[in-house]
Structure 1
Amino acid sequence: MTALVFALQDDQICVAMDTLVVSARDKMPLYFQRKFLSLPGSNLIVAGTGHAGFITGCFQYLQAHFQEATIDDLDGVVPDIFRASVRGQGGLSGLTATIYHFGYSVEEQRYVGYAYRSEHDFRSDRLRYGLGFKPVVPVTPTNDIHFPDFLIELVLEQQRQDNLLPITERVGIGGEIEFVVMSDRLINVETVHRFSSYEAESIYIEQRTEA
């Protein structure tokens, strides 16, 4: 799975995600991967949490067929696409998946967000403005928020809390933190942090590949 933190405002969206993918079987590192898709022609960011294979397949399909579609266009069609994809794969092997769309709504003339969750049969759920994160961790209220530092601290806390769990219950958070800013109809992506666990994860992935 993954760490996801976002700050959704009508004039700007900030998103931070880690890059580590772990095995569903043993929860150990498999590889590093960007967990969101940037579609500048659509003013859209697509992010995913959960079943890595399903999310990658959705990214590839959207990139191949919906390069210029707006977030408004996609909201009407992607629930059926995601359901068909799950049926084609014969299910999600007991896992869950959520696809998030963040983008500029031409209809509303502002930024909006949607979540499509497998637990809800990929029904379109409009995201509220404000802060969102998965997995959930405590947040200290503050009016002094600076991006990307605030989101980095949240993801670091997500990793810390995740590491306290038994390994079978962990999400698996690590690699690097990639940060996206959407504003003024532009998208900027950068890597803003490397976890202290990165080197150990890299060595394990290399050894796993050679085994």
Structure 2
Amino acid sequence: MPEPSLTGEPPSKKSVHHDFIDQVHINRDRSHIRTCDRLLQRIVAASQGYDWDVTGKAKALQQKGRVMSVTYTADFNLWIEKTAQLLRDRHWHEIDLEHLIEEIEDLGKSERRGVTSQLIRLLLHLLKWQYQPQRRSDSWLDSITDARTQISLAIEDSPSLKSYPAEQLEVSYQRARQQAAKQTGISLEVFPEACPYPLELVLAEDWLPEANSSS
């Protein structure tokens, strides 16, 4: 409100107008401050795993994340179903993020382990095919064919694994060599110390090694 004039005269219309405009500006600035304050509160809450409901009151969504964590331990299949639904619904703060990251990382490891396992299986049966020709069977041939198929399918699904068999060839061969010695009863020294097969032939659809001359 305008202050009374020292002369006792009423304030002019111009003065009253200016004071009114000043008050409007002050109220508007206060409104902006309140708006900015609420926005800051929302940002801080979101960074701490909270969300805000329509009334502007914080909701503790971290509790829901803890519930999902318990579900992970108690019922893994149910956890998968609920996590998939939360992702579809974009309920990010309700997701059990820690276990989800672990599962994604384990999925990549599982794919690589699968390729390695099939490569060991393939090399094992190639060694048996070569060093025990008298015991060759359709089941050995089926194992060789299936191992190649499984490796091929894994690479089709995840092209980034294309170089992985080459990286694992020698390590996989050493394990296959150990298993071949145990399963055949042939001395470990009989099998070559390094993989005798080029990877291209190992993975080739119709290739089989010739019988070992000393067999």
Kindly indicate which of the two structures has a greater share of residues assigned to helix: 2
Kindly indicate which of the two structures has a greater share of residues assigned to strand: 1
Q: The TM-score by the shorter chain falls in which range?
A: under 0.3
What's the TM-score once normalised by structure 2's chain length?
0.22
